[in-house]
Amino acid sequence: MGKHEASMGFAGCKAPAVSQNPVRPNEISYLTGYWHCTVVWEYVAPLCFLTLDRITMKYDIVLTLLLCASQVTAQAATPCLDDVDACLPDFRNRLIDNNYFWYGKSRYPQCGGGFFCINDRSDLTSVMARVLITNDSSSLQAAVSNIQVLNVTFLQRATKYFACDMTIKVPAEAPTTIDPLQPTLLPQILIQHQPQVTWTPRTSQTLYTFIFYDTSYLFLHTFFVNCNGGSLDGCEVVRPWLGTSPVFLINSPYIFMVFEQKSRVPIAIAQQATQETAAEGLIGSTSPLGVFYISVLTEKLNAYLNTNVQFASIMEMYPDPYGSFRLTNFFNTVDQCPLFYSQLPAFHSAVRLMQVPNPKWSSPAFGFSQLAVAPFLTSITVNVHVSYDTDDFSEEACCKQFQLTRGTHMVSALDTRPVRAAATRHAPRVFLSPVQLMGPGAGRNGIAALLYTLVAVDLTPALTSNTTGTNLTVHWLVVNIFGSDFATGLELVPYSAPTPTNANEPISLMFLLLAHSTPVDPTTLRLLCPEEPMM
């Protein structure tokens, strides 16, 4: 997370000659001009764009998450769904492909390391290598030579949940069958419900073990034993279905596996083997949760089951708001929402038009192996929560009486619902929270050492003209916010509710949080623009 100079032109003052004094590191210097501030900033938190519509005094928040996984399109024909036998050679090769997934030999170096792509075993570069903990080519070839495709189907019920400061509705959809050779984008709330899993048993009396495993994080999600009849009906549960919660904003390959048993596995022995394997995985791991090795587990149970995988399927997942909700509230690991915001096309345009130099984007090569994913800002460390509170409000406009009932509106870049302008006439409440919640330097202590500046700017002129160097009107400027305590900040530009001037011409308002190591001197701005109201 590097520091860099960011330049923004703020409209509001006349433009005398611009000073060419150099900017020294860790120093904020205000150059003469349109509040043209050149600052050594850490760019830490995009929030959102509010699109304000003058018609009927409404704000329309029109931007949606580029990767929002709550929409699933109709399932097209894919190789394994068309002809399972014909796809088997490609599927088996995919299991031992050393380059296809993000931890592959040619792809992992693009990740660059860091919190967003932790890889405890970078030496293991294929799915089956990470299951068996070996790179021996002959062993891997033998392990996949007899694997058959496992049938996995998810049902999607209509539901809703609260994440990224908004309520997200998920419509009911037709059942989705996983094709191991076709990346399938599914909403994570759908994956929280156990799928229908079937296979062809060798005999009606043969027992099987079922495992659902995260090959990115080396984490055991589900473990059933003593399954009979070629399905999960009647299995004994060692670890229940936990769904998925990808931590990294990259494709996360998960594998479904079925092992044939030699005899019934005593549930107590299976539980003990699971606990021992998990404890052993904590030793020497760089992951806060440790690692879980499937080969170690099956070796502990080799008296009861065949350690060769009999049936398998692969599913790739990408984080979405529901996954972030789980990671924040249940696992307390990471808040991904501001990273999603930074992937929005309009945010990419804003960074370009504002001429933010050297923004630290993630590699565009990441995401799904076959599905494009927009880069996100790796410098983001803080989530900015903005809430507008309003009392009962009534006003006559356009020969009509408008009324607004008291309430609270939480701003989210992913929200497309219209918002009445009257709800935003007063300054909002702002709450800062860390993105990284677990690990060294995480939590509130991780963001407490810096000072922050919050600025709300109208990006409409820049976005409309699509030109750089456009002056931006400041609607709010709060400096010297200490750590996560917004109340410690100094308001230099009082909040001014943005008001669209032309019908059918929306206004785009962006809240931006910047970090700096030395305090802003408020007298500097007063000297430059004495006619401007500054508190």
Q: Find the distance separating the first CA and the last CA of the chain, reported in whole Å.
A: 32
Residue 38 and residue 117 in one domain: no
Q: Is residue 133 pLDDT above 90, yes or no?
A: yes
Domain membership flag for residue 75: no
HSE toward the beta carbon, residue 353, CA cutoff 13 A: 20
Give the number of other Cβ atoms within 10 Å of residue 344's Cβ.
22
Round to whole Å and give the CA distance between 525 and 529.
6
Residues near 6 by Cβ (< 8 Å), separated by ≥ 6? 38, 39, 41, 43, 354, 356, 357, 514
Residue 53 confidence (pLDDT): 35
SS3 146: coil
In a domain, 72, yes or no: no
Q: Domain check: are 479 and 343 in the same one? A: yes
Parallel, antiparallel, or unpaired for β 4-8 and 36-53? antiparallel
* CA 207/CA 204 separation, integer angstroms: 9
Is 439 a residue whose pLDDT tops 90? no
Q: Is residue 327 part of a domain?
A: no
Last residue of a domain, one of 267, 287, 318: 318
The residue out of 250, 285, 318 marking a domain boundary is 318
Say whether both 434 and 303 belong to one domain. Answer: no
Please provide the average confidence, as pLDDT, over all residues in the chain.
77
Pairing of strands 151-156, 173-177: antiparallel
Average pLDDT over residues 297-323: 92
Could you tell me the sign of the dihedral formed by the alpha carbons of 49, 46, 349, 416, in that order? negative
Least confidently predicted of 126-130, 286-290, 350-354: 286-290
Q: Which residues of 319-330 are buried (b: 16+ CB within 10 A; e: fewer)?
A: bbbbbbbbbbee
pTM over 0.85: no
CB 128 within 8 Å of CB 294: no
Share of the chain above pLDDT 90, in %: 32
What is the pLDDT, as a whole number, of residue 470?
Answer: 67
Q: Which two tokens stand for residue 141?
A: 């070839």
Same domain, 188 and 262: yes
**243 and 143 fall within a common domain:** yes
Pairing of strands 36-53, 29-31: antiparallel
Higher pLDDT, 410 or 197: 197
Instruction: Name the domain count of the chain.
Output: 2
Residue 325: inside a domain: no
**Best-predicted range by mean pLDDT (212-226, 361-375, 383-397, 442-456):** 212-226
Retrieve residue 178's tokens: 């996983």
533, 37 contact by CB (below 8 A)? no
Query: Is pLDDT at 13 greater than 50 in this prediction?
Result: no
Q: Is the pLDDT of residue 209 over 60?
A: yes
Q: Is the pLDDT of residue 504 over 60?
A: yes
Model confidence pLDDT, tens digit, residues 28-45: 222 222 232 323 333 455
Is position 511 within any domain? yes
pLDDT band at 485 (very low <50, low <70, confident <90, very high): confident
Residue 533: inside a domain: no
Contact 120/113 with Cβ under 8 angstroms? Answer: no
At 387, is the secondary structure helix, strand, or coil? strand
